[in-house]
Chain A
């Protein structure tokens, strides 16, 4: 298949050259499978095989794109798409900067994060995995929801400046299991991300769910008083906040457009906790990495914050062109964000719950529906969900109703950080809007942040 994809791109390139067009061609193929669970049944079992071709035509400072869902047997349709893009670009308005068309100096292929066993995992095998993970945990009232999403993702690029191609192929799985009480409405979750079938571990999911269910079944939920708490975030919550940082912290283009809480003059300054180091590092296969960006640039490790010091902004090619900067290899469908671990030997919820403490700790594994309240100050808001616990200083544990936290990311990742776990996990933050784009962020398993205020506390679920 790879040969057919690359040959098709070469054929299309020749067609464009024969018409004196200047174009870039981006091929994306997904084979997506999603088994969805609700009320302890498989509520949907679906698959989509889709091939997308994005054609961008250039004419000096003008640019226009035509995208189509097609298949490899429709060469004429793809050629017609090239004609359409070339026609559109004539009527586009020139940009006030010169957009860069990459010149690939050599072809590049990477399928190091592709595992055919995961990509082609059968429905029967997925169901068996899920059954193992929730074995004995469902009851008449406690029902399973969740997804087993898996698939293969292929990107291939070529343009009229060079005959060389880029080719990327990866496999991925995102597993979310939720056990929810049908009438009491509490819900607990366990999740896993994988690029390789052998990474799948039903037992870990089972253990986490079993522990949380034991708490939630046997403890009466309570409304927490408003006030300040020491909070331990789970990997889902931490990864979600890093996702927002990806958007409003270090993206150069968004900073130039005023949509960032970091400023250019802060480069080199300590702005966050010395315990916080964040990089973009494509060496981690768990992040479904692009080791080259779509412009062909090698993606070396980029430090974003090192021990709290802001190391600088990243620049996609288009933003670099517009704002007269140097592209940093970040013209990619997703980055490979990695938070360095700390030194606290607490890596599973049971260890956290049993650790002696001199103050109550609010455990927030997941933040639901986060959003940006004020990008200039990095203020975000979201509600706890999926298995929050109040770990009392006397060793007892209370199940709290959900609470809302509204804080600046500068505070959360600032000097209020008490500790980070010494082990990490890849948390899958993929969504399935549009084309498949598996994305994961590597974060410490727990992060403790002191003195965070909860601004709203539910009196029920």
Chain B
């Protein structure tokens, strides 16, 4: 098969294609189980295979994909034909940043293959968890397991040949309750990174049981709580919401295709301009953010992106100053040319596709905030005069240029004079992105730092879902509007 694919690449090159690559998925398998109020609502396995072919011709992209591998030349020809049609409307001919020709392999770190675990054992795990969650005032209870494994063979016309064997494990539990007025409230636990591998060994029963008790207890506290006040306070974001703040207002805002206007028809643009790199004070000096695709054991670490560029660890924001972006080969060339200076020295290796039938686009890797020197969560609370601790994502809505946001969280704990006083329900906060990050006044130390997984990041047309990670500490922001 590989030889046949190489022949097809060479055939299109001989027909004056500028660049050709193919991603062949011999297999992508998923296994998803959902237990809801004791009912195993979903017991789903899925398998797909196929190829996606990308052709660059006279500065324009064409793409075609098919699960039918019996006529490879037809898929390659269709991609080439699409590129030729696209070449009829070119304003900035696509150029690709230089990269090395790579022959390599990447394997996700897995000790115990979840696909070797019996369905009985998986169902047993969920059944036990469901029983554990079935406690007083729990109106709805859910638990799920989601396993993915895929093999991707990447070949391009520049001589790269990369094999990736990716495995993912996602799991969560959630409980819902109704307060006296019949309004629903929820609390959940999403499995964060566990150790240095992500196989079945991640599914730690003790960890889930401990968190099941915690979220049920917190739900019960919330059901009796007062409404979150409308107020201006310091907000202390725990990892369960800090990951989303980072995701939405640093990650998406710094995707270079958004900055260059490639997502304007759908996801939106970015308030960031090319002039801002190196000068924009994005946040306070306490903010250092990076895109680290080399972090061990995260869905945002994949060895090589779908341009065939090796995974990297790059600064995005250095002590508050914007210095980098999330990039692939195409966008860095265009950005440097439009800025008339070299902002980017090369691709940051972040061009990824969700499946063989989607084209790679700039995607987050692991967008992390470095831990700080403001101590533990307890230290930060102790040093807060009037604040609120927030956790759990419930609702998120962000302006089209990522310039402002409104988040609803699952739970809030008011802080007065360095101490937690009351639990409040329906907490929300909102702000303007740059102003908010510049109000960052405390960053927790290593003890507060967690790697939170995201399995449902949407972007692009045709739409794509991507998996990634966020390593984030507890952070405090001052003078934030809450309760609206």
| With known contacts A39-B91, A381-B406, A180–B261 Cβ distance under 8 A | yes
Pick out which of these stretches binds chain A: B12-20, B57-65, B165-173, B297-305: B57-65
CA distance A66 to B29 in the complex (A): 10
Q: How far is the CA of A149 from the CA of B260 in the complex (A)?
A: 22
A291-305 interface (Cβ within 8 A of B): none
User: For chains A and B in complex, what number of residue pairs have CB atoms within 8 angstroms?
Assistant: 253
Instruction: Provide the bound-state CA to CA distance between A84 and B26, in Å.
Output: 19
Q: Do A376 and B68 form a contact, CB below 8 Å, given A146-B265, A369-B400?
A: no
Main secondary structure of the interface of A (DSSP, over half): strand
B397 with A381: CB separation less than 8 A: yes
Interface string of A49-78 (1 = CB under 8 A from B): 111000000000011111111110100000
Tell me the complex Cα distance, A433–B465, Å. Answer: 7
Check B265–A383 contact: CB distance below 8 A.
no
A89 CA to B35 CA, complexed, in Å: 15
- CB-CB < 8 A to A178: which residues of B? 264-265
Contact B271 A460 (CB under 8 A): yes
Q: Report yes or no: B92 in contact with A182, Cβ–Cβ below 8 A.
A: no
A263 in the interface, Cβ–Cβ < 8 Å? yes
Interface positions, chain B 105-130, Cβ under 8 Å from A, are 118-120, 123, 127
User: B46, A67: Cβ atoms under 8 Å?
Assistant: yes
Within 8 A of B (CB), among A348-403: 368-377, 381-383, 385, 402
Contact between A368 and B268, CB atoms less than 8 A apart:
yes
**B195 within 8 Å of A (CB atoms):** no
A-facing residues in B166-217 (Cβ within 8 Å): 176, 178, 181-184
The verdict on B66 contacting chain A, using a C-beta distance below 8 Å, is: yes
Also in contact, A38 and B397, with CB within 8 A (given A65-B42, A91-B118)? no
How many angstroms from the CA of A90 to the CA of B401 in the assembled complex? 50
Q: B2 on the interface (CB 8 Å rule)? A: no
State in angstroms the CA–CA spacing of A372 and B262 once bound together. 27
Say yes or no: B123 contacts A433, CB within 8 Å: no
Contact between B119 and A91 (Cβ–Cβ < 8 Å)? yes
Q: Are B399 and A383 in contact (CB under 8 A)?
A: yes
Least CB distance, B459 to chain A, in whole angstroms: 10
Give A47 to B359 CA distance when docked, in angstroms: 10
Q: Is B399 a contact partner of A45 (Cβ separation < 8 A)?
A: no
**From B39, B45, B182, B268, contact of A84 by CB (8 A):** B45
Residues of B within 8 A of A149 (CB): 461-462
What is the 8 Å Cβ interface bit string for chain A, positions 3-33, against chain B (1 contact, 0 not)? 0000000000000000000000000000010
If over half of B's interface residues share one DSSP class (helix, strand or loop), that class is named, otherwise mixed; here it is mixed
B408 in contact (CB, < 8 A): yes
Q: Is B341 located at the chain interface by the 8 A CB criterion? A: no
Asked if A123 is at the interface of the complex by the 8 Å CB criterion, the answer is yes
Contacts of A324 in B (CB 8 A): none
Question: In the assembly, what is the distance between CA of A91 and CA of B89, in Å?
Answer: 55
CB neighbours of A375 from chain B (8 A): 184
Which of B50, B184, B401, B484 is within 8 Å of A258, CB to CB? B184
Out of A88, A185, A406, name the residue touching B43 (CB < 8 Å): A88
Q: B residues 240-278 with Cβ under 8 Å of A?
A: 260-266, 268-269, 271
Do B406 and A45 touch across chains, with their CB atoms under 8 A apart?
Answer: no
Selected contact of B48 from candidates A37, A62, A69, A182, CB within 8 Å: A69
Q: Give the Cβ gap from B329 to chain A, nearest Cβ, in Å.
A: 15
Contact string against B for A residues 415-441, beta-carbon threshold 8 Å, 1 for contact and 0 otherwise: 000000000000000011100000000
**8 A Cβ contacts from B439-484 to A:** 458, 461-465, 484
Q: Are A371 and B397 in contact (CB under 8 A)?
A: yes
Say which residue of B63, B70, B178, B395 sits within 8 Å of A373 (CB atoms): B395
Q: Name the B residues within 8 Å of A461 (CB-CB).
A: 271, 401, 403
Contact across chains for B357 and A458 when beta carbons are under 8 A apart: no
Q: Would you give the 0/1 interface string for B29-51, flagging 1 where the beta carbon is closer than 8 Å to chain A?
A: 00000010011111111111110
Residue of A nearest to B185 (CB): A376
Other-chain contact of A34, B48, B394, B396, B461 (Cβ < 8 Å): B461
* Contact among A70, A143, A377, A402 with B183 in the assembled complex (CB-CB below 8 Å): A377
Q: Does A311 contact B (CB under 8 A)?
A: no
Task: Using CB atoms, name the residue of chain B closest to A52.
Answer: B48
For the complex, is A455 an interface residue (Cβ under 8 Å from B)? yes
CB distance from A60 to the nearest CB of B (A): 13
A162 within 8 A of partner (CB): no
Counting CB contacts under 8 A, is B88 at the interface?
yes
Q: Are B38 and A96 in contact (CB under 8 A)?
A: yes
Q: Does A93 contact B (CB under 8 A)?
A: yes
Q: Determine whether the beta carbon of B404 is less than 8 Å from that of A404.
A: yes
- For residue B280, CB closer than 8 A to chain A, the reply is no
Is residue B368 contacting chain A, with contact meaning CB distance below 8 A?
A: no
Q: In the complex, are the beta carbons of A46 and B262 less than 8 A apart?
A: no
A451 CB to nearest B CB, Å: 17
Distance in angstroms between the alpha carbons of A85 and B398 in the assembled complex: 41
Contacts of B60 in A (CB 8 A): 41-42, 45
A38-B262, A456-B430, A461-B403 are known contacts. Are A45 and B86 too (CB-CB below 8 A)? yes
Cβ B44 vs Cβ A32 within 8 A: no
- Can you name 11 A-B pairs with beta carbons within 8 Å? A46-B462, A47-B78, A48-B65, A64-B43, A127-B88, A147-B265, A176-B266, A187-B269, A187-B400, A373-B426, A382-B397
Interface residues of chain B, those whose CB is within 8 Å of chain A, are 35, 38-50, 60-68, 70, 78, 81-83, 85-92, 118-120, 123, 127, 139-140, 176, 178, 181-184, 260-266, 268-269, 271, 357, 359, 394-401, 403-404, 406, 408, 426, 428, 430, 432, 458, 461-465, 484
